[in-house]
Structure formats: C-alpha cells, structure tokens
Amino acid sequence: MPVITLDYSRLQKLVGKVSKKQISESLPFLGLDVESEDETCIRVEYSPNRPDYSTDFGIALGLQGLFGIKTGGIKLKIKKSTQYKINVTPSISKIRPYVTGIIAKNGKINGDILEQLIQMQEDLHMGIGRKRKKSSIGIHDLNKISFPLLYTTTTRNHKFVPLNSEKELSISEIISDTETGKDYGHLLGQSTQVPIIIDSNKKTVSFPPIINAAITAVTTKTKNLFVEVTGINKDDAEDMLSVVATILQSAGFTLENIQISGAKNSSPKLQEKKMSVDSSLINQTLGLNLNTSKIIASLKKSRLDAVYRGKNIVCTIPAYRFDIFGPMDLVEEVALGYGIQNFEPTISPSQTIGQTNPISLQLKSLDQIMIGLGFLEALNSSLSSKRVLYDMTNRDSQKIISVLDSKSQEHTVLRDCIFPGLIENLSRNIHVSYPQKMFETGSIFNLDNPLSEKTNLAVISAHKDANFTEIKSVLQTALKIGFGIQIETKTAINPSFKNGNCANIIFNKNIIGIIGEIDSKIVDNYKIRVPVVGFEISLSDSILKSI
C-alpha cells in the first residue's frame, strides 16, 4: 500500500487551528496507518481506494471534516470555456481510445507542491491506473502549448525531445533507451502506431502513457496547467481526472473545462451523483440509533452532502469519491463521521451452540497418543522444496506441484508427503541429545483433477538402537488405541528406505502407508550419525471418520 510523508507545518496551514498531537491522533480515524513519526513529519499508509489521500491537500480536506472545521461535500467549480479543445482521430480507437483533461489556472507552485503533485501522479499510476495500463496522467505547463490539440497516432519514427532529455529521440529510442520507456513500453505491444498528443503548431505535447515532452515541463515558475488523462476506458480516465481536479482546486487553482470530441470521446462532466440510503440500514448495520440529523452531520464530517426525504438520506457524492459503490459505502461514511472511537462494543448473547469439527477432535486425540508414546510434535511448511521433498530422499519428482515465481527458494513445491521434512529437521539437530523422536500431522497434496488434499501422519525415531520393531510397535499401538484399527505390514521396496527393512502398511487390503528404516545413504547425506526409522500413513481415506 502506498505511503505518503506529511509535513506537520504544511498540514497545519491547510487544516486550520489544530495541534500536531491532534493531527497524529486523528489520522488513523481517516483509515490512515501511521508508519513512523518525528518532530516535523509523519508517514502514513493509505488504502488505494482513496487516491485523494495521495497528497496532503486531500488528507487536509478529510481532517477538516473530522475536526468539524469545514464539513460537507467538496464541489468542483469549473469555468465554462470554449478556448481549449482536443480533437481525437479514429485511428487511436484500437490503441488507447480515450483522452480527457482539464485546465488549472493561477496557481502557485513551490517545491513542496511540485513534490506533492509528482507523488500523486505516481500513486495514481500505480493504483487505479494499474501501472498506467488502465489510465495515465500528463501534467503540462499550459503556457507552452497552443490549442487546439490533436490526440492521434503516429509511427515509431516520430521524434521529439522527451522530459529529462536534451535531444530529440524517436519513439523507438524512447522505448528502448529511457527508463520510463523500458518500464511501460510493453503497454503498447507490437503496434506500429502509437498514441501522441500534438498541439496546433505540430509540437509534440505528450506520448501517452510513456512520457511528456520536455518543452511542457512544469517547474516552480509554472502558473497555469494543462492536465490530460488517457486510458482504455472513458469512465476510468474521468475518475482519475476527478481526483487530480479536486486536488488542484484545493491547492488554489481555478479550473476551466476542455472541449473534447471525435472517435466516441466527449468533454468530461466530473459530475456529482446522488445516492440514497435508508436510515434504518445505517442504524441496523452499525448497531446505533441515530436520528436523521445526526446521520447527516456524520456524513458531512466525512465530506459528503446529504439531506433527508422521510427515512431516506439522499447523499450527494462528488466525482472523486468513486470508491462509493452503493448504500453500504455510505453506512461506512456515517461510521467514520460519527467516529469509530465513539462506538461502544456490545456482545449479543449467542443463539448458536459451538462445535469443534469432529476431524479436529480426532486429530487432537491422535496427537495426544503420539505424545504419550514419547514423540515430540513438529511443524513444517506445506510449501517446501524439491531438494527436501525429492532429491535428498531419492523420491520420484514426476508429479511435483510447483508454485510460480516464489520469492523464497526453500518454498517452491507443495509437499506430497511429510516424512522428508522430518528427516531434514533431524539434520538440523545433530548436535542435540538423542533419542530424537518426532511426529507431524498435516496436509499433503496430489495432482488429481486438479488437486487433492489429504491428511497424513508421519513419525520418525532416531537413536543408536532405532530399529524396525520399535517403529512398528509405535504404529500398531497408535492405530489400535486411536482408532481400534489392526494393520499389517508387507515387504516392500522404496527408494527412501533400506532394502529388506521396509514394508507397506496395509489396512482393509489397501496400502495406506509405508514404514521402515531410512536408507543409510540418505541419513549419511544429512550427516545424521544414528539410524533413523519411521512411517507415514494417510489418515483421510480410511481412518478419520467424518461425522
């Protein structure tokens, strides 16, 4: 989740008369997790569903609401203008079909504000923009551009001076040589045509979604901005624009609209929407008994406008709050405005009778029997490695189940049995006193249209006198005392076990497991200096009783 650094003094200026302490104590109640804090700054993590919290301007609007300094909805004031136009050519439809944008004038951009805008742009790209795939933003110096603009396609030979470069580069060079080109060039696929925004003097403004032109770069001297958002879906592009527009207005800019036309494109509306919610849904869901005026006051603290029509609360939701899908989201807004700290937890008497799963009970009983027989319980991950599961124990790895792109080499393969993990555990304890006796009950996995999951018990005993008789006695006793089951053992050959010291475990004429002395080469390879005996049985199919 994205993290933003907030400067206390800037935030205090934006919010109004509040102390540092009040700010740091209130941020969590906006849903912001405090990461760290010092004298001047506080770092918070915000959820990607609230992209307006990607700048301190957005967070300040939220805090003003909680403190009651300013409440109610944030209305975008967009001046109607016919001065700014973008025409779209149909050739773009198959590549990145939509463009939208807004003009923001007469703002002051200092270093801090520039930093906030860049941070916001980056977070929006990563989050709702899905790494620029869905939508991406370009912010430009308006005064360097002459309207009308054309959003069209061009070839990969098209040249211009991109941001952070001093010379002209072709589109191909930008994709192969610049950092953003390398990161995002793949979004354009193999298409020979790429998106481009060109101004009326044929100057390149932007090459979405990769990079802006150097000439329109925003600096601390910039007063007026042109913001464009391009994307593969019109609504998503306008959602993103609504966040930028709201933040720029809060930062002191005045907004003017852009007329957009051609190839199914149109001017952005950035309209508020109305949504109503039944006050009884609010009270039932929250377990409160709030009257309509308290509900409305709470919504206003969450920076929404609301009025009541009988039992219904009608909310006005600004365009940038596209995280609000339906009435339940408004219930949460009421909860936040009311203040989570003001909720008194209650416990309603249980109408139900609790029950431990019968399988859990049986497994716990089996565990107790194993402990009674002198075995210590071990726990290993079900996600292990080829080395431990197959290579070190000579097992056939044909039906291996791997995960993709694991960050940990020790966790790449789902186990199909438990005992190889236990032998590996012995190898980590060779300096500890013997006898070492361990068991583990747990899930194992097999490919079976597509997968099966079963519960196994594995047991091992390692000490200088360990032998087949000892471990067969353990097996026999555990199953007899645990489940009233009699088993047989029939000679078998298994690559993990010593020849002539290995048997299949038979119950009701079915093989349910394997028992024997571990092959001495395996034991040697693990540098274990005593004999190791063990068994593993499947519990799922014939032993555990589901009720």
Among 68, 79, 118, 376, binds another protein (CB under 8 A): 376
Residue 314 touches another protein, criterion: CB under 8 A:
no
β-bridge partners, 5: 43
CA-closest candidate to residue 135, choices 248, 55, 234, 51: 234
Q: Which residues in 335-374 contact another protein (CB under 8 A)?
A: 335-336, 340-341, 343-348, 350-357, 359-360, 364, 367, 370-374
Residue 425 touches another protein, criterion: CB under 8 A:
yes
Tell me the one-letter amino acid at 538.
Answer: S
Among 90, 287, 495, 500, binds another protein (CB under 8 A): 287
Whole-angstrom Cα distance, residue 289 to residue 477?
61
Residue 482 CB, shortest distance to another protein, in Å, is: 16
In this structure, the number of other CB atoms found within 10 A of the CB of residue 335 comes to 18
Among 297, 332, 485, 501, binds another protein (CB under 8 A): 332
Residue 485 CB, shortest distance to another protein, in Å, is: 22
Nearer to another protein, 431 or 490 (CB): 431
Contacts (Cβ under 8 Å, ≥6 apart) of 364? none
Maximum Cα interatomic distance, the chain, rounded to a whole number of Å: 94
For another protein (CB under 8 A), the number of binding residues is 89
Q: How far is CA 132 from CA 18, 53, 185, in A?
A: 37, 19, 11
In this structure, the number of other CB atoms found within 10 A of the CB of residue 37 comes to 15
Residue 71 CB, shortest distance to another protein, in Å, is: 18
Q: Tell me the residue length of the chain.
A: 547
Residue 270 CB, shortest distance to another protein, in Å, is: 17
Part in contact with another protein (CB under 8 A); list of ranges 69-77, 268-276, 378-386, 515-523: 378-386
DSSP letters of 132-162?
TTSEEEEEEEGGG--SSEEEEEEETT-EE-B
For 222-235, b where at least 16 C-beta lie within 10 A, e where not — what string?
bebbbbbbbbbebe
- For 8-76, strand residue ranges (E) read 33-37, 41-45
Among 96, 125, 132, 134, binds another protein (CB under 8 A): 134
**Per-residue tokens: 265:** 């494109």
Residue 479 CB, shortest distance to another protein, in Å, is: 18
Asked if residues 447 and 399 have their Cβ atoms less than 8 Å apart, the reply is yes
Residue 269 touches another protein, criterion: CB under 8 A:
no
CA-closest candidate to residue 238, choices 389, 135, 356: 135
Residue 31 touches another protein, criterion: CB under 8 A:
yes
Part in contact with another protein (CB under 8 A); list of ranges 6-14, 334-342, 481-489, 492-500: 334-342
Among 18, 41, 217, 288, binds another protein (CB under 8 A): 288
Residue 25 CB, shortest distance to another protein, in Å, is: 11
CA-atom Rg of the chain in angstroms: 33
Among 176, 429, 473, 486, binds another protein (CB under 8 A): 429
Among 403, 473, 493, 521, binds another protein (CB under 8 A): 403
Q: Which residues in 1-30 contact another protein (CB under 8 A)?
A: 28-30
Q: Which residues in 449-478 contact another protein (CB under 8 A)?
A: 449-451, 453
Residue 547 touches another protein, criterion: CB under 8 A:
no
Q: Which residues in 181-200 contact another protein (CB under 8 A)?
A: none
Whole-angstrom Cα distance, residue 423 to residue 389?
10
Residue 312 CB, shortest distance to another protein, in Å, is: 17
In this structure, the number of other CB atoms found within 10 A of the CB of residue 263 comes to 16
Nearer to another protein, 30 or 258 (CB): 30
Residue 280 touches another protein, criterion: CB under 8 A:
no
Nearer to another protein, 26 or 494 (CB): 26
Q: How far is CA 14 from CA 7, 18, 25, in A?
A: 11, 10, 17
DSSP letters of 363-391?
HHHHHHHHHHTT-EE----SEE-HIIIII
Residue 405 touches another protein, criterion: CB under 8 A:
yes
**Per-residue tokens: 547:** 């009720």
Residue 37 touches another protein, criterion: CB under 8 A:
no
**Per-residue tokens: 85:** 């136009």
Residue 220 CB, shortest distance to another protein, in Å, is: 33
Residue 95 touches another protein, criterion: CB under 8 A:
no
DSSP letters of 421-458?
HHHHHHHTTTTSPSPEEEEEEEEEEEESTTEEEEEEEE
Nearer to another protein, 190 or 325 (CB): 325
Residue 408 touches another protein, criterion: CB under 8 A:
yes
Q: Which residues in 488-527 contact another protein (CB under 8 A)?
A: none
Residue 378 touches another protein, criterion: CB under 8 A:
yes
Residue 47 touches another protein, criterion: CB under 8 A:
yes
Contacts (Cβ under 8 Å, ≥6 apart) of 106? 223, 224, 252, 253, 254
Residue 326 touches another protein, criterion: CB under 8 A:
yes
Nearer to another protein, 255 or 457 (CB): 457
Residue 311 CB, shortest distance to another protein, in Å, is: 18
- Residue 509 CB-density burial (10 A; 0-12 exposed, 13-18 middle, 19+ buried): exposed
Among 313, 315, 438, 533, binds another protein (CB under 8 A): 438
Residue 442 CB, shortest distance to another protein, in Å, is: 9
Nearer to another protein, 359 or 492 (CB): 359
Whole-angstrom Cα distance, residue 151 to residue 89?
7
Nearer to another protein, 86 or 423 (CB): 423
